[in-house]
Each structure stands twice: as structure tokens, then as C-alpha cells.
Structure 1
Amino acid sequence: MDSVPVTVRVVGLNDFHGNLLPLPRPVLVTVSEGETREVQAGGAAYLATAIAQTRAQSPYSMVVAAGDLIGASPLASSLFLDEPTIGVMNRIGLDFNAVGNHEFDRGWRELLRIQRGGCEQTGNRVPCAVETPYEGAGFDFLAANVLTEGGETLLPATGIRTFTTPQGELAVGVIGLTLKTTPLLVTPSGVDGLTLADEAATINALVPRLEAAGADAIIVAIHQGLGTTAGYNDLGCGGIAGPLLDILEQVDPRVDVVLSGHTHNAYVCDYGLIDADRPFLVTSAAFGGAMLTDIALEFRGGRLVAKMARNVVIAHGSDTQAGEFPRFAPDAGIAAYVQRYVDAARKAAERPVGRLAMEAVKGAGLGRLIADAQLAATRGAGAQIALMNSGGIRAPLVPDDDGTITFGDIYAVQPFGNVLLTKSLTGTQLHEILEQQFAGAEDELLSPSAGFAFTYDTGRAAGQRVTSATLDGQPIDPAAEYRVTMNSFLASGGDGFATFAQGTEAVTGPLDLDAIEAWFALHQVTPVPTVDRAMAIGQRRP
């Protein structure tokens, strides 16, 4: 009957990043502005239970993710090319995942294999190491703004789930897309031959097509996001800012919900409070399976009449505050499946590679340690300088009580499988690279190897922020050539460092993991460089 309301439940996910196991450190949850809680969260088995309980609220439900489902993953998933993450999501019942930038970490050809299945080797690692054959994803990756050279989308642009209800058939359409700047965030060879179209224009072109196909509600899953000072469930959108806002202000008002990601933040924003003509909900569920978004779409007479969204913390463990974050039990089937891969990875993960003098973290020694290791590993190619990007450092390096570091530890720091390249760059090009650190909305400081140092002043005009650069105490000569080592991501212009790609006489070196392991082998106890080699002077950019 038309008078009986029907609710379609939508579970929103984003930025899972192959976190099959619970997150290793407590998650900081902003419950309201200025008020936070720490909670043990995440893990595929707990997430599966939470999703099942959320879906059980209605006989009509679906699960949609907003990208970075795979890539930059912990060892148990990444060592096996993220095949177990797909296996988990197949079992959980994921319907659609918008591609994120990390879906392209191993290249678009490998992404197609992940979607379609099979054991074709497209990179350094051998697929199907645990399950043969790999069956592929039982859900669709959506890539509405990722175009091939022939002008077609690499993967489907949209999807529709149709439910048979007392009101008749109800259809929910989904548009999935990534951020247009994805080519700046991945190794360029990973997106070779592809074009990334404007996000808002892509969405707006597809809305009428979904309506024509019978969609009664439209969800956009986009791998771009926001920041906020508000609580994780504060509909008031307090302190909302970020690159997604520029897209939202252009989006067709017929969109009902925007699932977002990329920034790893947690929010539920009623965008109608910002723009009354666009009363859609905008959500993000943190990262790593720490949360999900529970979305209710209420229909009467075949029309969407109300919508609600709230984030649910996937909490577990004795430290959880009862009542505020209800605890979830692990799903036994998912736990057993994950354990199969954990066991397969254990031998590699537990192998000691050396000892470390102290904890090393990004921004406080870890980048310098990696750069030193890469310089040592490529001296044979004439390397004089090595530079490491902060975005390539995915975890701190924390030794055991006796200082031991394992392969699993170093893998968590650098999970991408990059190779090292040494190129010739002029002093002028080197200066351009240093200036490119400040070209984006946020500074992307490079960590230099020992002997190379620079100073900068972010209060100065663009192109003039690097105030000095020296090698072994001598100023960099603009006309001279220098042999510089970087990972393959940077070497092809990743993270916006386009000038790296201009280097000549490239010599391919070892994998980044092999370089850091060899560095540990050179030391009885490996020191963490404590002297800063990139020093700010003058005004800091706000």
C-alpha cells in the first residue's frame, strides 16, 4: 500500500585500505567540537557483524563504498595483491565501490584483474598465492569519470539496485567516481592512457540518465572529501571545509546522498543547511573499517520522502565505553577467512630484519632514515642525493622491547612495492622540485638523505620559498648535474613533483623494501637521524 512507508537501508563505507585486522592503535573519535574519545575499532570480522546488524533493520538494503577499498594496505592483504580484501567484501555483500586513487596503485590493468578475476601477473608480485583461481569481485567498481583512449569509461559509471516492495519496485541508482587529481596521487604509469573528467560535470550528466532508467533515489559515491571540527554525527556541518565543497556547490539538486572519502574524516552533513537548493546528505565514515554510515531512505508512494544518516563506530575491546560506542562481536566466518591470509603472511611478517635505536615516525626521522637507506642502495648508480615523499610513508616504525624490527614492520611503512630509480637532474631542476613541495593546498615536504639540506620560508611568494639548498655544505649549482634517487612513484611525477620525470640517464635500482632491509643489515643497531635537513625559516604558511 502506498500509505505504508518503506525504508531502504544503505551501508556506506570508505577508505577501507585492506585493513582485515583491527586497527593497531585506538581511533580518535570526535564526538563533538573539542571533545574526543579513543576507541579500539575496525577489523573485517567486526565490520561484517556491524554491517549485518545494520542491514537487518530493513528487508531492503545495499552496501556502497566510496573508494580506496584496496591499496596502501597492511601486509596480510597487500602481500596477496588485496585479493583477500575482495574476498571479504564479497562475503559481506558489497554492491558497489567507487574507484579511489589507491585502486590505481598497481595500475589500471591490475584493477581490471581485481574486478574480473584470474591469475594474470601484471606486476612484481604473483597473484593467486592462496586461493586459485582468484574469482574476482562480486560487486562493481564504478569509475564514471575515468575514460580510456577510446572515450569509454574504464569500468561502469553507474549501478542500480532494484527492490520489490509493497509499493512496487523501488530503484536506487549509484554514480561512482574518483577525484580528478588522481593522476597526481599515483604512479603515472598506473593511469597511462586514461583521462580523468571533471567530477561535477560527470555527475550532472549521469543524473538524468539514472532517472530515465527508473532510479527513485540517487547516491553519489565520490572519492573526495572534507574536513570538519564537528562531531562525527553532527548534522550541522560545523567547520566543514575542503576540496569536495567546490564540487558539491555544482552538483545537480536531484542527488539525494553523497558518500565521500579520501580525507579519512568522519562526518554526516546536511548540506541543505549550506545550500537550501541542494538538500542532500554528505557522509564519510573515517577509514580502515573503523566506522560505517547507516543511511535510511524512506519512501511513500514510490517517492523518497525522508532520509537519515549516522555513523556507527565499529568498536570492540574492553576499553570501549558502554552505551556511547556499543561493542560488536566478530563474525566467525569472516574471522576464519582473514586468519587464513594472516597465517600465510606470518612467515614473511615475523622475519627479523634488524634492530632500531628508537621509534621512528613520519616528520620526525623516519623519512630521513628511508632516504639514507635509498642513497646507500644506489651509490653504485652514482647517487649523491635521495629524496623521500611523506605520502609514501604509511605507518610509524616501532621496535620491539629489544629493538627488533620485522619485515612486517617495514612493509607497513612502505606497502607499495616501488622500485628505486637514480636520475641526473640539474641544480635548476632540483630547485624546481623543492619548490613543488609547496604547490598544493598542503605542503608535501620531501625528506632528504644525509649531506643534502635546504631551508624554506612559506611566507614568500610561490617559486621563491626555497631560500637555500646545499650538498655536503656547498650551495647547489644551478648549472651542474646531480645524481638523485627517488622511488618509482616520484620518478614518474607522482604527488605533483612533475620535474622528477624530466631526469635523464635513469638507472633502476632495488625495491624500496630491499633498500631499507639492506640498511638495517649494515648496522648492529640502526640509528634514527635526529638532525633536521629541511628547515623552516621566517613565516609559516597558515
Structure 2
Amino acid sequence: MKAFHRLAFFAAFAWLLSAPALAEQVTVSFIQTNDIDKFEGSGERGGFARLNAVVKAERAKGGHVVYGHAGDMISPSLMSGLDKGEHTIALTNMAPPDAFTPGNHEYDFGPEIFLKRMSEAKFPLLAANLRDPDGKLIPNFTDTLMIERGPLKIGIVGLTSDESGHASSPGNLKITNALETGLAKAKELREAGADFVVALTHSGRGEDRAMAESRLIDLIMTGHDQDLLVNYDGRVATMESYEQADYVTIADITFDISEKDGKRTVKWHPSFRVIDTKDVTPDPETKVETDKLAAMLAKELDVAIGTTTTALDSRRATVRSAEAAMGNLVADSLREAVKADVAITNGGGLRGNKEYPAGHAITRKDVLTELPFGNRTMKLQVTGATILAALENGFSEIEDNGGRFPQVSGLKVVYEAAKPKGQRVVSVEVDGKPLDVAAKYTLATNDFMANGGDGYAVFREAKPLLTVRDAKLMANDVMAYVTQRKTISPAVEGRIVKK
């Protein structure tokens, strides 16, 4: 019997020596937002007052919190068109994130405004793939951040949108490949002792998937696609919070930290929450400021300039995938303003994301809501071949509802989506006649596209007949078009036909 007890004792002792010692269990709540530029949100949901209320409530619980902002803040809202995003920084400072990375819309007003806005931020700025013209770090920015939550070391790498060069106006700032940079920095963070690596990134679905498949990153907090997304494949978690803080995603991640023979092991599993901000009471302090902004806008912009007898649709899914009555209105306005043969403008430049019923009184605010970027109307001399190449570019991202989708005037275009990129245009007519690739035409477009934005690089080689210095604001051209007519009736009329 004594021998049995001795054997049992030594077996138990051996098990204790071999078993891992559980040092601690800790839970961290990761709050994520992205693509919020409208201070008021979409109305019944979203906006800075509700977002800040969510953040403050989570922090008030007293647990471990990491709040990440994945970019697109200072533009393209209506108010940003007036103050170039100054108010969005001020509102974000009222409940500052633990880390922020710029989206492509941070560069919409050019590099000088970008740097000024970022200097006003009272929160950490991360962008490992962003450098100044000399290849140096941007003031106030770092590549990565190592933060501690209890015994846990969390490494964060920030990645700005590497599509900004054609999707925005970063000027001479240098932006490198987000995926390659992110994976390299993730390795560095792990080597520096990070238990858990986060990519705070403004990137598309493809890049997000590649980051996840690399297994070098544990949590991807992403923006840009404006999806409501939570995903966990057993190894990597991904989250995105739609847009305008209509919904806010939170990942409550529980970590089990153990150590054996001097080797530290961290195991984790997530639990996701999606906050519908329709049910959130706005933060009182922030609401005072947003109410002031609303009053200012109402006074300046709630002036009717005309009436539409037809319904107008500027929803993202509409203007980025098909001919839209709103797109026709804008394209017709540009074409008339500069007396051009044809007009092409990008569907992604229409930002209202709303429907206007027949009989709606169009206000200045409506026009500026649709065209918040402050773009100007350009007039170019182009060949038919240039128009054809531009249209091929316009249809090259139809699978992803790319913002380059063309809204046109003076043209009838037939395209076939199933064909390879660059071969999708079936036929083009100008004023009822087949396009002559060798002929010269005048074309109205916006200065963003004229400078090669949204992939319209072919326009860079065109002869400008009206330079930016002499051009008028697109929004003013649309206002003038509506004001002159008083009553308008834009409609989908077969300008763009999908075969």
C-alpha cells in the first residue's frame, strides 16, 4: 500500500512538472471603425456622436480596450467640402482611437491639407507604407505600435491605402505596397516580442485575404470596402464596420497565457459583437458640437434651386454598376458647362448614397452632398481611341463595383461584362454615329480623372482646353444647370447598355 502511494505521488509530481503553468487569462475588447466622414451619420444610425458614445461606454467598463480606426475620415462629406475635414479630426479627438491609419480619402485635398489635418490629431498615427518625398517618415507617424494590455503585448502595424495614388491626391507622398510592407512589419513585431499582431489597414478584399492567408497576422482591422464583416477561420480574425459608424464591430478576444520551460505560449479565441448604433444614445458632449455643425450647414445650404420630376438614385451600388439618372444629370451639366462633345465622370465621385423621389426640390446641399470633393470641370481634346480606352478602364472593375464606372453624356455605350478586362466595350456611338477612333473630340470630365485618377491614365496625354486654374467647380456647374432650368427630368435612357 505504501509503495502504491509512493508511485501515485511521483506520478502526480511528474505531471505537475510537465504541465504548462497558466500564468493568466485576459480579455481585450478590440473596437473597430472605418469610413466615417459624415458627422451626422446616415440619420437614424451612425455619426460621430453615436460612435463616441460606443467607445466611451466600452472604456467605462474598466476592462482592456484597443480602439482602432482604419481610415477615411476627413473626406468626402459635405462639411468636409467646406472645412477640408477639420471638424472630423476635432470630433475624433473627443474619443481618440489607440491607433489610426489613413485611408485614401485622407489625401483628397492634397498633401498639404493631409499633413495639416494629421498634425491636429491627438491620437497615434500609423502608416508603415507611407513616406515623404525623401523617403523619410511623415511627421507624427510611426510604422508600428507595441501596446500592453495586462500581461499581453499587442503589436499593431498601420497600412494606408496603396490605391491612393489613383484613387485620391497624395501628391509627392510615397506609398508602397501595403501587403508586402505589412507582412514584413508583422515579422518584426513578432521578433520584438508581440504576443498578438494586428494589421490596422485600409485595404481591399484581395489584400485582406492575402494577409489572412499569410498567417503572420492574427487580427485584421480593415476599411475601404465599407462592408459589415466579422470572420474567424480558426487562425485569423477579420473585422470591418460598414460605413459612417452605422454599425460598430467589437471583437472580445480571450487570451490564455502560459509558460513552460521558459517558453511563453499565448492561445486565443474571439467573440464578436456588432453594435447597431440606431439603438445608441449619442454622446452628449459630442452632440453639442455636431448640432452646431448641423445648424451651420442648414443656414448655408438648405436653399432650393430647382425641382426634379423624375426619381434620382445615387446609391453606391447604382452609380458604380449602371447608368443612373443622377449620373446623367451630372454628366450633362459638365458637358453643357464647357460645351464639349461628350462627358465622362466616375460613378465613385457621386457620394450622396441616397434616393430622391420625383417632385423633390433640389437644394445646394443636395448637390454638394453628391459632389463633396471640390473637383473642377475640365475640358480635354481627345481622340476616339482615347475615349475607347477610357471606357474600357471604366468597365474594368465592374465585378467589385469600382468607383471608376463611367457616367456619360453624348455617348451610347454597349459593353459585355463577361469578356476579359480591356475587351469589354462592344460598341460606342457619339451623337448617334459610330465612334471614330482616329477623329478628335472634346470631352468634359473632372480634374481628378484628367490627372489619371481612378485608372484614367489615358487622359493625362490629352490636350487640356480648359486648365484647372481657369475651371469652375463641378458642383457649381450642376447648380447652374438646375437653376437655369428650374425643372429637370433626368432618366435612364440607354446611354450605357450591358449586353
CA, structure 1 residues 459+283, in 2 after alignment: closer, same or farther (shift >3 Å)?
Answer: closer
- Identify the range of structure 1 (436-445 vs 335-344) with the bigger mean alpha-carbon deviation: 436-445
Distance 1:344 1:524 in 2: 26
SS in 1 for 2:184: helix
Q: For residues 266-305 of structure 1, what are the structure 2 equivalents within 5 Å?
A: 266-272=228-234, 279-299=235-255, 300=257, 304-305=266-267
Instruction: Report the counterpart of residue 324 of structure 2 in structure 1.
Output: 364
Kept in 1: contact 2:413–2:427 (CA 8 A)? yes
Q: For residues 402-481 of structure 1, what are the structure 2 equivalents within 5 Å?
A: 403-440=360-397, 441-442=399-400, 444-449=404-409, 451-481=410-440
Instruction: Report the counterpart of residue 38 of structure 2 in structure 1.
Output: 19
CA, structure 1 residues 64+460, in 2 after alignment: closer, same or farther (shift >3 Å)?
Answer: closer
CA, structure 1 residues 453+308, in 2 after alignment: closer, same or farther (shift >3 Å)?
Answer: same
CA, structure 1 residues 400+333, in 2 after alignment: closer, same or farther (shift >3 Å)?
Answer: farther
Instruction: Report the counterpart of residue 83 of structure 2 in structure 1.
Output: 80
Task: For residue 483 of structure 1, report the CA deviation from its aligned partner.
Answer: 0.9
Instruction: Report the counterpart of residue 162 of structure 2 in structure 1.
Output: 180
**TM-score, with structure 2 as normaliser:** 0.85
Deviations 1:453-488 (A, max 9, x none): 222223445443322222222222222211101001
Distance 2:68 2:137 in 1: 19
Among 131, 139, 144, the residue aligned to 2:123: 139
Distance 1:519 1:308 in 2: 53
CA, structure 1 residues 355+151, in 2 after alignment: closer, same or farther (shift >3 Å)?
Answer: same
Structure 1 spans left out of the alignment, 5+ residues: 25-39, 117-135, 227-241, 273-278, 317-326, 538-542
The structure carrying a bigger helix percent of its residues is 2
Distance 1:287 1:21 in 2: 12
SS in 2 for 1:159: strand
SS in 1 for 2:407: strand
**1:378 matched to 2:378:** no
Kept in 1: contact 2:379–2:465 (CA 8 A)? yes
Task: For residue 78 of structure 1, report the CA deviation from its aligned partner.
Answer: 4.1
Q: Amino acid of the residue matched to residue 376 of structure 1?
A: E
SS in 1 for 2:479: helix
Which structure would you say has the larger Rg? 2
Instruction: Report the counterpart of residue 149 of structure 1 in structure 2.
Output: 133
For these two proteins, the number of residue pairs brought into alignment is: 457
SS in 2 for 1:200: helix
- Identify the range of structure 1 (306-315 vs 216-225) with the bigger mean alpha-carbon deviation: 306-315
Instruction: Report the counterpart of residue 196 of structure 1 in structure 2.
Output: 175
Task: For residue 447 of structure 1, report the CA deviation from its aligned partner.
Answer: 1.6
CA, structure 1 residues 396+208, in 2 after alignment: closer, same or farther (shift >3 Å)?
Answer: closer
Task: For residue 54 of structure 1, report the CA deviation from its aligned partner.
Answer: 2.1
Q: Amino acid of the residue matched to residue 223 of structure 1?
A: H
Task: For residue 79 of structure 1, report the CA deviation from its aligned partner.
Answer: 2.4
Instruction: Report the counterpart of residue 307 of structure 2 in structure 1.
Output: 355
Task: For residue 445 of structure 1, report the CA deviation from its aligned partner.
Answer: 3.1
Distance 1:428 1:415 in 2: 31
**1:101 matched to 2:57:** no
Instruction: Report the counterpart of residue 145 of structure 2 in structure 1.
Output: 159
Among 47, 52, 72, the residue aligned to 2:51: 47
Q: Amino acid of the residue matched to residue 353 of structure 1?
A: I
Kept in 2: contact 1:200–1:251 (CA 8 A)? no
Q: Amino acid of the residue matched to residue 446 of structure 1?
A: P
Among 302, 311, 314, the residue aligned to 2:276: 314
Instruction: Report the counterpart of residue 388 of structure 1 in structure 2.
Output: 345
Instruction: Report the counterpart of residue 523 of structure 1 in structure 2.
Output: 485
Instruction: Report the counterpart of residue 329 of structure 1 in structure 2.
Output: 281
Task: For residue 3 of structure 1, report the CA deviation from its aligned partner.
Answer: 4.2
Task: For residue 494 of structure 1, report the CA deviation from its aligned partner.
Answer: 1.2
Q: Amino acid of the residue matched to residue 56 of structure 2?
A: A
Deviations 1:190-213 (A, max 9, x none): 223233322232122212433455
Kept in 2: contact 1:13–1:284 (CA 8 A)? yes
**1:489 matched to 2:471:** no
Kept in 1: contact 2:100–2:124 (CA 8 A)? yes
CA, structure 1 residues 8+107, in 2 after alignment: closer, same or farther (shift >3 Å)?
Answer: same
CA, structure 1 residues 315+507, in 2 after alignment: closer, same or farther (shift >3 Å)?
Answer: same
Distance 1:460 1:207 in 2: 38
Kept in 1: contact 2:230–2:272 (CA 8 A)? yes
**TM-score, with structure 1 as normaliser:** 0.79
Deviations 1:232-280 (A, max 9, x none): xxxxxxxxxx45213432352xx221111211111211133xxxxxx12
Distance 2:41 2:411 in 1: 39
Kept in 2: contact 1:366–1:528 (CA 8 A)? yes
Deviations 1:43-70 (A, max 9, x none): 2222222222222344432311112123
Q: Amino acid of the residue matched to residue 250 of structure 2?
A: D
Q: For residues 335-350 of structure 1, what are the structure 2 equivalents within 5 Å?
A: 335-350=287-302
**1:6 matched to 2:26:** yes
Distance 1:459 1:60 in 2: 49
SS in 1 for 2:135: coil
- Identify the range of structure 1 (354-363 vs 281-290) with the bigger mean alpha-carbon deviation: 354-363
SS in 2 for 1:425: strand
Task: For residue 215 of structure 1, report the CA deviation from its aligned partner.
Answer: 3.3
Kept in 1: contact 2:301–2:363 (CA 8 A)? yes
Distance 1:434 1:309 in 2: 45
Kept in 2: contact 1:69–1:97 (CA 8 A)? no
CA, structure 1 residues 261+303, in 2 after alignment: closer, same or farther (shift >3 Å)?
Answer: same
Task: For residue 534 of structure 1, report the CA deviation from its aligned partner.
Answer: 1.5
Q: Amino acid of the residue matched to residue 79 of structure 1?
A: L
Distance 1:456 1:3 in 2: 62
Instruction: Report the counterpart of residue 200 of structure 2 in structure 1.
Output: 221
CA, structure 1 residues 311+79, in 2 after alignment: closer, same or farther (shift >3 Å)?
Answer: farther
Task: For residue 378 of structure 1, report the CA deviation from its aligned partner.
Answer: 0.8
Distance 2:34 2:86 in 1: 18
CA, structure 1 residues 200+408, in 2 after alignment: closer, same or farther (shift >3 Å)?
Answer: same
Q: Amino acid of the residue matched to residue 384 of structure 2?
A: G
Instruction: Report the counterpart of residue 462 of structure 2 in structure 1.
Output: 503
CA, structure 1 residues 398+348, in 2 after alignment: closer, same or farther (shift >3 Å)?
Answer: farther
Instruction: Report the counterpart of residue 70 of structure 2 in structure 1.
Output: 66
CA, structure 1 residues 21+213, in 2 after alignment: closer, same or farther (shift >3 Å)?
Answer: same
Kept in 1: contact 2:41–2:48 (CA 8 A)? yes
Distance 1:369 1:12 in 2: 37
Kept in 1: contact 2:252–2:272 (CA 8 A)? no
CA, structure 1 residues 70+145, in 2 after alignment: closer, same or farther (shift >3 Å)?
Answer: same
Distance 1:153 1:529 in 2: 49
Task: For residue 387 of structure 1, report the CA deviation from its aligned partner.
Answer: 0.9
Distance 2:341 2:334 in 1: 11
CA, structure 1 residues 427+497, in 2 after alignment: closer, same or farther (shift >3 Å)?
Answer: same
Q: Amino acid of the residue matched to residue 46 of structure 2?
A: G
SS in 1 for 2:312: coil
Structure 2 spans left out of the alignment, 5+ residues: 1-20, 259-263, 314-318
Kept in 2: contact 1:148–1:194 (CA 8 A)? yes
Among 219, 227, 245, the residue aligned to 1:265: 227
Task: For residue 350 of structure 1, report the CA deviation from its aligned partner.
Answer: 0.7
Deviations 1:141-181 (A, max 9, x none): 32211233322343321123334x4x4xx432211113333
Q: Amino acid of the residue matched to residue 300 of structure 2?
A: A
SS in 2 for 1:92: coil
